[in-house]
Amino acid sequence: MNPYQQYQENQIMTAPPERLVLMLYEGALKFLRLAKKAVEEKSYADANNYIIRVEDIIMELNMSLDMNFEISKSLRNLYNFIYEKLIEANIKKDLSKLEEVEGLLAGLKEAWQEAYLEVMRTKK
């Protein structure tokens, strides 16, 4: 394992749960951008791999929801919608669907980041 991989693993292992969710959103957006680039370049095998990575992250986010909270039900519906759009985008290699998902994920990431920063401020 190279030093960068060790650093990344350490970041994940020591991060609070709130930070892990933010990292998942960041990862999903990174792979989504790579998928869009691959579709634009007609590198469909790469696009497929990147979209599957995003799908995996969405499933992880979905499975980690605490259904004791009302917002979790809304998030579950949204994650299911995003997952379906990713499947459609992957089948058709449709940039517009990837862009739609990117907008949704960017909004979720921004909202989560604001909430995370607020939690961190109150902990100080």
29-51 confidence digits (pLDDT tens): 999 999 999 999 999 999 999 99
Nearest to 82 by CA among 39, 24, 23: 24
The one-letter amino acid at 43:
S
The residue-averaged pLDDT of 73-97 equals 98
- 41, burial (CB in 10 Å: exposed 0-12, middle 13-18, buried 19+): exposed
Distance CA 52, CA 119 (A): 32
Distance CA 33, CA 93 (A): 13
CATH class (in words) of the domain with range 19-123: mainly alpha
Distance CA 116, CA 21 (A): 10
Distance CA 27, CA 40 (A): 20
Instruction: Pick 14 or 7 by higher pLDDT.
Output: 14
The residue-averaged pLDDT of 47-69 equals 97
**pTM for the structure as a whole:** 0.87
Residues 8-24 pLDDT 10s: 666 656 667 788 999 99
Instruction: Pick 122 or 76 by higher pLDDT.
Output: 76
Distance CA 107, CA 70 (A): 19
Q: Is residue 7 pLDDT above 60, yes or no? A: no
